[in-house]
Structure 1
Amino acid sequence: MRPKKPETTEGDLFRARLDQIINLKHELVQLGTRIDWDWIDREIAPLYSEKGRPGIESRFVGGLLLLKHIYGLSDEGVCHRWVYDPYFQHFTGFEFFQHAFPHERSDLSHWRKRLGSELELLLAESLRVAHQTGALRTRDLNRVTVDTTVQPKAITFPIDAKLVHAAIRGLNWLGRAHGLGLRHPIGASPSRRR
């Protein structure tokens, strides 16, 4: 089910409003006001069902994913820092300072799986804001370099145990083919050694 919109409050005498304790010129505050969170919410709306418990607010999780990549943090790291950093809380749409993380940390990975290829929406919105603010010029997009060093590769290195095992089995086969009998062929299962 789609997340409910947060209720706006007029004031609370006993809680600290984030906009009163942070610098409103901070880069995260400026970035948070320029991102079109409603557009992102409308784009991912079809991923939610009509039944069930309301989901986590898209600004909260989308903001956490952006903060994770901006500051190079792990899922646990961004959740841990969120508790102590009022700028992180403001960026993710909170009005009052929170003393505890409001959701499970695993929700971040569940939300990332739900988004799948729609995760590109955050990249598209980041590029739109960068272009709108002048941080990214049109000519900067003529050439794009993609770093894939963190992508999993289908490469098997010679130090892998499966390659060593295949080499031992191959040597056993060659030994048998040339008439060399091995007392205990290495790599054979215990039932085949008898």
Structure 2
Amino acid sequence: MVDVRNGAVTERAGAAGGSGITQAPHPDGVTGARVTVELEVAAGAHRFWDVISDVSRIGEFSPECVGASWLDEAAPGPRQGASFRATNRFADGHTVEVPCVVTEAERSAVFAWAVLDRSGDPAAPGSVWRYELRPGSAPGTTLVRHTFEHGPGDTGARRSPETFQERLGQLHDHMSRTLTAMAAAAV
């Protein structure tokens, strides 16, 4: 688990339910694979929720998702059912745009979305991303749990199973870096 207080970042090991990679329980070796990163931030849940739910700012924080924008011009913003498009740039220079739909948006508690594959079926997404916010160990802090779970949808992981474990490690690193950058922006 990573702990950020007063601008300092420290690694803490072994927190129950903390950071890590969970292998895919599905026989295909991909569906259900999960990466979780936890970070305690020196910001209240309301402030941090404002940062994580503003998808237009993700490019400031993420080494991979370089931008996003709301698609619902009449009612943009973080609400269940809202759609946005994100742009991911991978280490090899490959760039892909992905459609996303917000699945949960509860202020100061949870923000989650599904990344849709070509079928556009939110019941079978390529992946699900989630931020959960809970009170931290000290007043004015928030424990943030950021989770990626590979869904049953079609993604590059299915086309390159030989590199999937490496990809999960890369996601863990990118998610940690993203949360650390968000924490710095929230204070």
Q: Scaled by the length of structure 2, what TM-score is found?
A: 0.25
Highest relative contact order (Cα 8 Å, sep 6+), 1 or 2? 2
Say which structure is richer in helix: 1
Structure with greater Cα Rg:
1
TM-score normalized by structure 1? 0.24
The structure where strand makes up a greater share of residues is 2
